[in-house]
Amino acid sequence: MDFVERPEDLPRSFREAMQALTVRMRRSDPQGLITFEALDLHRLLATPEWRREARAFVEDWIGSLLAHDAERQSDLVHTLGVYLDQGGDYDATAAALHIPRSTLRYRLRRIRELSGHDLGRTDTRLNLHVAVRAAVVAETAVLPASE
């Protein structure tokens, strides 16, 4: 954990603290402490140089899901994030979301239909996982912002 040693570093430190807090609050388990250094991928994607590219990547991979969630007030992106965080384990995902497996199966089918992506492919799951995480960062950049 870095400490602010000079007054001119306060704005950067405050931004980093707000990003860490927002990312933590948006995770499936918002409890506990987190530092900017512990943000891992979020830290990289939060840099100004990466923001524009991250937003384009998010749009390419999960834009249709984000639009559907906004229009229908659904939670498909969150469901996808938890599913990927749980390594594709249906039981663990359903438990984490507090929904029956049948509801999870329905949501994952809708995710496949709307996104056009095959969740069985490793490279697709990786890109979707990065897109879900990057969506949090992109939102962070606009506001002050699953495992």
Both tokens of 105, joined, read 């199966």
> pLDDT tens, 46-86?
666 777 788 888 999 999 999 999 999 999 999 999 999 99
Q: Is the pTM higher than 0.85?
A: no
Instruction: Give the pLDDT of the chain (147 residues) as one tens digit per residue.
Output: 567 788 888 888 888 787 777 777 766 566 777 777 777 776 776 666 777 788 888 999 999 999 999 999 999 999 999 999 999 999 999 999 999 999 999 999 999 999 999 999 999 999 999 999 888 766 644 322 333
Nearest Cα to 79, choosing from 46, 60, 106, 61?
A: 106
CATH top class, domain 7-142? mainly alpha
CB 82 within 8 A of CB 75: no
Nearest Cα to 119, choosing from 98, 93, 140?
A: 93
